[in-house]
Homo-oligomer: A and B are copies of this chain.
Amino acid sequence: MTLDAVRDALIRQEDTIIFSLIERAKFPINSPTYDESRLSIPGFCGSLVQFIVKETEAYESKAGRFQNLEEHPFFPDDMPPSLVAPYDYKLVLHPAADSINVNGKIWDVYFKELLPLLTEPGDDGNYASTASADLHCLQTFAFRSNSLSVDKNDLQAISKRIHYGNFVAEVKFRDAPQDYEPAIRAQDRDALMKLLTFEAVEATVKKRVEKKATIFSQEVTLNDTKSKGNYKIDPPLVSRLYDEWIMPLTKHVEVEYLLRRLD
C-alpha cells in the first residue's frame, strides 16, 4: 500500500460521500428524526436516528465487525458479542491507533453543522428514510476519516478496516521517518500538522469535489436546456465540507497517531 494507492481510494470515496449527501438532501431537515422525546420504544431511550444507527451496529457486531479493535461503534454500550469465529487481524499500525476515535466529532459535525446547511427546512414525514440516509452519510464520513478496507479473501475481512488518518500517517511516516521523528519527540502538534499539510493537494481536492458535486447533483433531463443550474445540493457546500471538516478531521487523526508513533 502506497500513498498513491491510498489517495486513489480516497478520490473514489469522494463520489460515495457526494452520492450520500445528495440522497440525504432529497428530504427536508425532518427534525422529529432527531427528537429524543418522540420515539417510544420500550427499553430504548433516544431518537429514531440513534435507534437505527445502534441497531445497525448491533447486527454488524454479530457479524464480527468490532472484533477488530480498530473499529469503533458510535454506540459502544450493550453491543452484542460477535457470533462469528475470531479472526486473527494482522496489525498494520502502531497499537496507539486503537485509542484514536473521532466518532463523537463526526456525529457532532454531521448533525450540528452540516445537516442544517445541506437540507431545506420542513417536515415531510419520511423519518425512517431520513435516518437511513443519515446512517449512510455517517458511515461514509467515518470511512473517510477513520478507516479503509484493506484485508482480503476471508469472511471476517468484512470488518477489517483501519483508521484511515492513521493509515495515511503511517505511510507518510514510513516514507520519511527522519522528517517526523524530531517533531514526534518534541510532541509538537503544530510542527506535525505543518508536515502533514500539503496546501496544493488540499486545493485540488476542494476544486475536484465541487466539480463532482456539480456534475452528480445536476437534474438530468433529455432536454438539455431545461435544468441548467438546478442542483440537488449546493456544490460549494461540498468544497466547504472537505475544507472545514473532513480534511481537518483526517489530519487530526494523523497528528494524534504520529504523536504516539514512537511510544
A158-B127 contact, Cβ under 8 Å, with A19-B19, A220-B211, A221-B208: yes
Q: Is A125 an interface residue (CB 8 A)?
A: yes
Q: Are A211 and B222 in contact (CB under 8 A)?
A: yes
Instruction: Count identical subunits in the complex.
Output: 2
Q: Are A63 and B84 in contact (CB under 8 A)?
A: no
Q: How far is the CB of A76 from chain B (nearest CB, A)?
A: 18
Q: How far is the CB of A52 from chain B (nearest CB, A)?
A: 7
Cα distance, A122 to B11, chains bound together (Å): 22
How many residues of chain A get a CB closer than 8 Å to chain B's CBs? 59
Output the nearest chain B residue to A218 by Cβ-Cβ distance.
B215
Output the nearest chain B residue to A43 by Cβ-Cβ distance.
B83
Q: Is A51 an interface residue (CB 8 A)?
A: yes
Q: Is A123 an interface residue (CB 8 A)?
A: yes
Residues of chain B within 8 A of A43, CB atoms compared: 83
Q: How far is the CB of A72 from chain B (nearest CB, A)?
A: 16
What are the 9 tightest A-B residue pairs by CB atom distance, in nearest-first order? A128-B158, A125-B152, A55-B59, A125-B157, A41-B83, A127-B158, A19-B19, A212-B220, A126-B149
Could you jot down 5 A-B contacts, CB within 8 Å? A15-B22, A48-B155, A125-B152, A211-B220, A215-B215
